[in-house]
Amino acid sequence: MGRNIVITGGAGFIGSHVVRLFVNKYPGYNIINLDKLTYAGNLANLKDVEDKPNYKFVKMDICDFDMFYQLMQDEKIDGIIHLAAESHVDRSIKDPFTFARTNVMGTLSLLQAAKLYWESLPEKYEGKRFYHISTDEVYGTLEMTNPEGIKPPFTTTASSSERHLAYGKDFFYENTKYNPHSPYSASKASSDHFVRAFHDTYGMPINITRCSNNYGPYQFPEKLIPLMINNVKHHKQLPVYGDGMQIRDWLYVEDHCKAIDMVCNGGKVGEVYNVGGHNERPNIFIVKTIIEQLHDRLKDDGISEDLIKHVADRLGHDRRYGIDPTKIKNDLGWYPETPFEKGIVLTIDWYLDHEEWMEHITSGNYQKYYEEMYKNK
CA distance linking residue 196 with residue 207, whole number of Å: 9
Radius of gyration of the chain (CA): 20
Q: Are 288 and 241 spatial neighbours (Cβ–Cβ below 8 Å)? A: no
Local structure of 223: helix, strand or coil: coil
Q: Are 78 and 127 spatial neighbours (Cβ–Cβ below 8 Å)? A: yes
Q: Which of 184, 218, 369, 370 is catalytic?
A: 184
Q: Which of 137, 249, 255, 318 is catalytic?
A: 137
Mark whether 136 is an active-site residue: yes
Q: Are 23 and 52 spatial neighbours (Cβ–Cβ below 8 Å)? A: yes
Half-sphere exposure of residue 356: CA atoms within 13 angstroms, side-chain side:
2
Listed in sequence order, the residues at least 6 apart from 343 whose beta carbon sits closer than 8 Å to its beta carbon are 215, 216, 250, 252, 279
CA distance linking residue 98 with residue 183, whole number of Å: 10
Q: Provide the β-strand partners of residue 281.
A: 248
CA distance linking residue 324 with residue 147, whole number of Å: 19
Mark whether 125 is an active-site residue: no
CA distance linking residue 100 with residue 191, whole number of Å: 9
CA distance linking residue 166 with residue 280, whole number of Å: 6
Q: Which of 35, 136, 255, 280 is catalytic?
A: 136
Q: Provide the β-strand partners of residue 252.
A: 215
According to DSSP, residue 182 is labeled S
3-state DSSP percent of the chain in helix, strand and coil, to 5: 45, 15, 40
Name the residues annotated as catalytic: 136-137, 184
